[in-house]
Structure 1
Amino acid sequence: MAASGSAESASDSPAVWAEVRALLPRAEEGLTLALSGEVEDCVPPLLLRARTLLYGAAGRPGAGAAAALERLSDVLRDYSWEKLNAVPWREVSKAWRQVYAYGCLFGALAEVAAGRPLARAVRLCDLGLLMGAAVLDNVLSRLARALQPHLPRAAPGGGARAERVRLQPPPPALQPQEVIPHLRCPSLERFRDCYLIPQRPVVLEGVMDHWPCMKKWSVDYFCQVAGCRTVPVELGVRYTDEEWSQQLMTVSDFISQYIMDENNVGYLAQHQLFDQIPELKEDISIPDYCCLGEGEEDDITINAWFGPGGTISPLHQDPQQNFLAQVFGRKYIRLYSPQDSENLYPHESQILHNTSQVDVEDPDLVKFPNFKKAAFQSCILMPGQILFIPVKYWHYVRSLELSFSVSFWWS
């Protein structure tokens, strides 16, 4: 992770520029600047001008060219940022997301060419990965990965998995009739016939024992691999709370402020983490059972859930099948069938229509009297276990301690 002041790594070394330059096409025309849709007429000339500045010198752009490239990057990012925020996200044109990504790319390259500390260049790469669309064979991901080794690394002390000491309330006692069944490495046929087709939850054991993350992942490891990377963090116990918010910060800042400090509550819930940081994706595997779905492997969404004990996912449902894999820490999880939806009092607003109004562990039965009619299953998900949550099944999750989970959404 990047330190402050003089300890911050700078990009003065010709070797750094050579490594970065090798990620780009050799000839100017090879950097195609292709957009997948129409943008305003003033934008393509700006992109072409930035490309010319980048390739104008035989080697590394001089100070003047680097400064001009930085200014163009600012203009491209600011202009496209307005477009990204002018309409609901699902309506944002991919072309404008690509313009934003190019702006981040040119900005990061200007930082390296100017010989400045590399932390800002990596942050620009991450902003492009989070808010932009992939360009030039996902060059922003490759650029960030190339720059990371040149940044100072540090990790919080105090051990890998026991930093946060705040005690959490124990989970409710699990009654035998409510416990989700466990099964060790079932065949594809058995899982399909007994759980996928009838849509029955099950806890799978032994499936992820061979994943490298089971031996490698810890707080220290995340600092080393991703400490300098900028990610979105959810601040608050649960997303239905009024004070809940989101903020962009580096992984190292998240760990120091929300993992090491027991006075703050924050959660890294990231839908792009494994594309953003491929080193982490190499440590996990897509469960073989996903092949029973209708989509392709590229259609599977992989999510990261990293945070301290006490964070809660309110009772909600998702539109896809879900494998929730527990890497470290424990989680108390309760499941309700979609057949009980009427008894779970979903929010009436469109934004939260998939979320229950009921506080599962402290329900207001005067306000929500039918909640007591809803039957549920529960488990304490342990490291190395994978919970199959059928599509539309309502699920409530509370972290009992510092925890990292990976979920796979598939159809």
Structure 2
Amino acid sequence: MKLNLQDIPRVKTISKEDFIKHYFKPQKPVVIEQFIEDWPAYSKWNLDYIKKVAGDVTVPLYDDRPVHHNDGFNQAHAKMKMADYVDLLKREPTKYRIFLWNILKEVPQFQKDFNYPDFGLRLMKKLPMLFFGGKDSYTFMHYDIDLANIFHFHFEGKKKCILFDQNQNKYLYKVPHSLITREDIDFNDPDLEKWPALKKAQGWVCNLNHGEVLYMPEGYWHYMRYLTPGFSMSLRAIARNPKNLGKAIYNILVMRNIDNVMRRLKGQKWIEWKNKKAITNTDRFS
């Protein structure tokens, strides 16, 4: 038995009015296939170009190791020169990923290669983030702390994306006081006997190709798996739904601080308790 996933709708291109009407207002995902062909980045951005322009920059790397109480929020697992990292991506599969890499801060000249499209939402212009990964590397299923509307522009290669909305939380083995599900669930090929509640979860799936844009509505859970080495850029717009905006403020000001305090006080026992609660909280719905 597989996860209950439907294909994310795809359009060649879309007007601002149609995007707002058919996807933003009903909060449904969509893949836009031909929206950025006039960007210099569309033809320029590949791993060789990144290496040429940013090769000397030291980048933070992350792998798929489980959360440990000593880890800081988004603390990197390793560091490497971008040139060496690109060489690694092209040479062999690697678990190392880059995420939330602010290109305005790190390599300002990349700004010349793209613009901020008008989807009818005000995009946060100080937060264009790049994400890189090697073949078969992946992110744990998670949602973003600010529950933003996310436009995910993919470059080079192919990437698998699985999404769930917040209404599916009770089936996903969500870890309390965090933004992730149980890290030992392989959402690419889950063991549905071990994680039976997932049989009831209803989500979305797509493969992203070079130049395509995935719209992820507010607070959507997302699991990203790189089918080939590649990278993406996310632009975001603040949550509009008052409930989601309230959750975002709570996550940033309260939840994150509670979690940090409990890690210091309880150490790894806090992490273990949270992981157990993810099962007991979810088993009621399986």
Please report the TM-score for the alignment, with normalisation by the length of structure 1: 0.51
User: Relative contact order, CA 8 A, sep 6+: which one is greater?
Assistant: 2
> Greater share of strand residues, 1 or 2?
2
Among 199, 208, 217, the residue aligned to 1:381 = 208
The residue that corresponds to 1:317 in the other structure is: 143
> Greater share of helix residues, 1 or 2?
1
1:341 aligns with 2:169: yes
Give the CA RMSD over aligned residues.
2.6
The residue that corresponds to 2:180 in the other structure is: 355
Specify whether residues 260 and 180 from structure 1 end up closer, same or farther in structure 2 by C-alpha distance, changes over 3 A only: closer
The residue that corresponds to 1:272 in the other structure is: 102
Deviation of the 1:367 alpha carbon: 3.8
The residue that corresponds to 2:270 in the other structure is: none
The residue that corresponds to 2:160 in the other structure is: 332
Specify whether residues 231 and 405 from structure 1 end up closer, same or farther in structure 2 by C-alpha distance, changes over 3 A only: same
Deviation of the 1:249 alpha carbon: 2.4
Deviations 1:74-121 (A, max 9, x none): xxxxxxxxxxxxxxxxxxxxxxxxxxxxxxxxxxxxxxxxxxxxxxxx
Deviations 1:154-202 (A, max 9, x none): xxxxxxxxxxxxxxxxxx9999x81111123211111111110110101
1:286 aligns with 2:116: yes
Identical counterparts, % of pairs: 29
Amino acid at match of 2:81: T
5+ long unaligned stretches in structure 1: 1-171
1:307 aligns with 2:145: no
Amino acid at match of 1:222: I
Aligned partner of residue 220 in structure 1, secondary structure = helix
Deviation of the 1:241 alpha carbon: 6.6
Aligned partner of residue 21 in structure 2, secondary structure = helix
Amino acid at match of 2:181: S
Q: Which residues in structure 2 correspond to 1:126-141 (within 5 Å)? A: none
Task: Report the Cα distance in structure 2 between the residues aligned to 1:368 and 1:174, rounded to whole angstroms.
Answer: 11
> Runs of at least 4 residues of structure 1 off by over 6 A?
172-175, 241-244
Deviation of the 1:229 alpha carbon: 1.4
Aligned partner of residue 265 in structure 1, secondary structure = coil
Task: Report the Cα distance in structure 1 between the residues aligned to 2:207 and 2:83, rounded to whole angstroms.
Answer: 29
Task: Report the Cα distance in structure 2 between the residues aligned to 1:232 and 1:182, rounded to whole angstroms.
Answer: 33
Specify whether residues 264 and 369 from structure 1 end up closer, same or farther in structure 2 by C-alpha distance, changes over 3 A only: closer
Q: Which residues in structure 2 correspond to 1:26-37 (within 5 Å)? A: none
The residue that corresponds to 1:212 in the other structure is: 40
1:255 aligns with 2:80: no
The residue that corresponds to 2:275 in the other structure is: none
The residue that corresponds to 1:222 in the other structure is: 50
Pair member with larger Rg: 1
Please report the TM-score for the alignment, with normalisation by the length of structure 2: 0.72
Amino acid at match of 2:121: L
